[in-house]
Structure 1
Amino acid sequence: GFPAMRDFVQKQVETLSVDDGKDRVSVVQYSRDPAVQFYLNTYTTKREVLDSVRGLRHKGGRPLNTGAALRYLRDNVFTASAGSRRPEGVPQVLILITGGRSFDSIDEPASALKQLGVLTIAIGTRGSDPRELETITGEPSHAVSVSDFTDLPNVQEQLSSVMSTVLMRVTPLTPTVTATGLFFFVLQNSCGCKERVQFYHVPAGKDVVFLLDGSDGTRTGFPAMRDFVQKQVETLSVDDGKDRVSVVQYSSDPAVQFYLNTYTTKREVLDSVRGLRHKGGRPLNTGAALRYLRDNVFTASAGSRRPEGVPQVLILITGGRSFDSIDEPASALKQLGVLTIAIGTRGSDPRELQTITGEPSHAVSVSDFTDLPNVQEQLSSVMSTVCISQWIDVVFLLDASDATRTGFPAMRDFVQKQVETLSVDDGKDRVSVVQYSRDPAVQFYLNTYTTKREVLDSVRGLRHKGGRPLNTGAALRYLRDNVFTASAGSRRPEGVPQVLILITGGRSFDSIDEPASALKQLGVLTIAIGTRGSDPRELETITGEPSHAVSVSDFTDLPNVQEQLSSVMSTVLMRVTPLTPTVTGKNMTQLQIPRSSHPVLSEHLHHKKRGP
């Protein structure tokens, strides 16, 4: 049956976008032990991948140890060193094709891959064990059966259906330019797509931290708090590794009851919650507790999957005002991407709760802790309205060569107007401005300023750099190495969309091919605006998409491209938070885009009647 497997992989690879760096492919054979044919970063062109697939020779051997193969993938293939872009939020897909039952246990390695966020689809023949395949995938609908390997072409439609229920299909206004799909093949792979489609990845779960006011003033209300947490935990999917839970009490200082990675089953979590004892103490230092969460709980070592793009949720229940300042630690959690919901009693300060959450609708009030069950519906509503990450890192790269001296004021005004639409003050958006001619000059980095006023003051004060020739390639390379980096404030490792807006008035004197390709591989969405002095083909090469290259006759016409720019911006990959405690392949949820979302995205989507 191996030739049929090999042909099936070949057909799937032909549907992928390998040449432009969007998709990466790996193939692994296994029997007693696994053997990598090639890793995700071995080949960078479709021709190389197909040549390797066509040359596959049957490995042979026995027995069939599927568990060992899955464990090997986790430790050696779904890793950054092997080319996995999981830390960058690129979906990880494993397609297993097998003809028999495993001789070793698949439970632990299959669970480990689920916790890693890998979507597994298993295709088995009549010699396979259907229950074993369902355990490996975690979803019965992801386990596909064929009578024989020669029937693999017949599961194309079923495989497409499985893929479309797990990854949200979108119809972008223009083709996407970010890495939106990593299709990973074991033995043989399949994206399940008859045509090239784009997807948004829906994280398979969330990390939920409960922060409970355990000060002296809440002693009588603590049992109600404990019951409330218990009821929330019962709605989560802990057993399958989708959701993780942590509980922290605090008064003068915080005390962790258990971390996000302490327990792996719902029963363990519930037993620990039922056994909670009131901490006691005073005063109530909410600021110190929030700071502690940032440094000790929302961390990878404590089980947080934030670097993998898993939504981070904090539910604070408190009965009083904080004795210390909450401003800086609350802001730090927002910048970390934590969604905070605060529930307070009549002894709490509503304005303080709103400051902690950053959104008035996320601050919920009850008269007493015994009324907590009544806010269940309101809590669900709050969770459902925060569905799209509103953050973005925007870098403006401005042609400041001698030829643009007269047009520079128009460029500066255009940047100013764009900045005015962004949400800088609350830490959602970050901005950087770089001028260039012969060489680039950073005006300010993504982490230089934290308020819109500071950014706008700096933009208004921009002075034309001057110089020649125009080396756009060198400028793009500089951005990759010095601006789109964590040290310069880029939140790319956290999954925040990276956007570059290039405004130029001429042709580059150096090559733009390699640095433009490097930015694409980094996942940067580039929009290029050029005048009649620019080379349209060069701009298209830089952006990777013709529709992302915008033309104006002169810099004074920049205001006229606002609508076109909004259209292009709406294709930026948006991180999605599940509306219900768990999003499964069988039940995709409808997303709501609140009017408070990113102005450019929200206005365009609502005005054009487009949904996510």
Structure 2
Amino acid sequence: VPAGDAVRKEYQTFPVPTPATKMATTTPTPTTTTTDPSTTVPQPTTTPATTRSTTAAAKTRPGLHRVRDMAFRGTSTSASNRNIFRHNTGIQRQEPVATFQRAAGSPAHLAMETDSWKPGLSLFDTGFSSKEELNPKPLESISLGNQNCKVDLSFLMDGSWSIGKRRFHLQKRFLGNVAQALGIGSAGPLMGIVQYGDDPSTEFNLKTYANSKDLRNAIEKIQQKGGLSNVGKALSFVNRNFFLDANGNRGGAPNVVVVVVDGWPTDRVEEASRLARESGINIFFVTVEAAAQIEKQNVVELNFVDKAVCRTNGFYSIKVPSWFSLHKFVQPLVKRVCDIDRLVCSKTCLNSADIGFVIDGSSSVGTNNFRTVLQFVANVSKEFEISDTDTRIGAVQYTYEQRLEFSFDKYSTKEDVLGAIKRISYWSGGTSTGAAISYASEQLFSKSKPNKRKIMILITDGRSYDDVSMPAMEAHRNGVIAYSIGVAWAAPDELEAIATDPVKEHSFFVDEFDNLYRYVNQLIQNICTEFNSQPRN
């Protein structure tokens, strides 16, 4: 582009210019006007073969209208005509078509010609090209994001009629602020949105936007659906359709659903929430302006939040008194969503696990270390929601022989399970780990419920006197997911043989019993990955 002629940017347009005269001749006509060489454009040579004429009647060409560049340059009026290219910000892209005519009184062979020009085209030395061709759309920027908050997040936004337009706008602003505070990125949190009313629909999924800025802009454009507040239906929809690999779900990243509710749902949420939790989804509720006393007769489930979330300890629910104070809860929500350790705990409230501990009680362990092992078992167990329909815990202790400490159906509350673990007495003896695996398979996991994931956690401090490979392979074939934890003199080859593939994620080693605690969170997180790897309901 010649210096002095600014190319119009996409958001600019121009005022309709005054008619300009262009005399096309069979030979180039020099101009006597002195112009700045930096702004003078070479004039194209025209020949009789290329000279065109029209009838006296003005005729607009079909298709893309273009103006000849020499109408504005290379004449005594070129300096003033360049004013056409001055910026005119604030006017959007619905431009008029400007018409230019040759001056009256031109020679007959240069009859009046009408040429049409649509603003939005750029003028160049060698011809004309539309700005769309010359300014391709930039690629969407990708951010790594907040790598300390790697979660896959779905917001269920309330699009029901009860929320109204003004509060719907406040909700969008809240979601945009949350997206900004999270730090969206490919190595951090990813966020999609499902809007619910009578029926839910995905506005965009996890892989649609990879940075907070684009996500915020997309949220602002969401239009309200209307309808009832069918939260249960929306949770079922998300459970079946949202957290899929095709939608950008990442294995190992916690799946989180945040439900924003204006008042209360118009359908039941308990069953849908239970199925979602079984699929490994952490459910948070943000309830705004709860039902007034006179309205409670219309509420389907008065304690719907308690029935929906994993635990009723306040961590998974936020009560907002007014839509106009919603902005105050952005940071508290972000802090909870990014608390990965707590999310790991919440994911273990799935209604599908039977966890059996196989504990080495041989002489090499010793009384004090055995108590440390029991503390480790208790620390892992207490992170699960324990009941007949949730996680169940069982335990076997072994030396040369084996003993069933308690079965899966013995205790149905966390308090009872932790008490039973504390009461396990140290046995002492030799180390027959292979026989212990076979015993656990027969006495614990053969009696597991069909809908339960079977997880074995074996803790040993030495090499076994018998073979562990065949019993472990048999357990694997029967669907038991085996974790091996070795201490001190435990044999690495045996730990690998016991562990389910990939071994790296199912086998751990510590040099001292006092360091067992370091693997509590890691073990729970890996168990959660087992939950997430299962097909959705």
TM-score range, shorter-chain basis? 0.3 to 0.5
Q: Which has the larger radius of gyration?
A: 2
TM-score normalized by the length of structure 2:
0.47
Larger RCO (CA under 8 A, 6+ residues apart): 1
TM-score normalized by the length of structure 1:
0.42
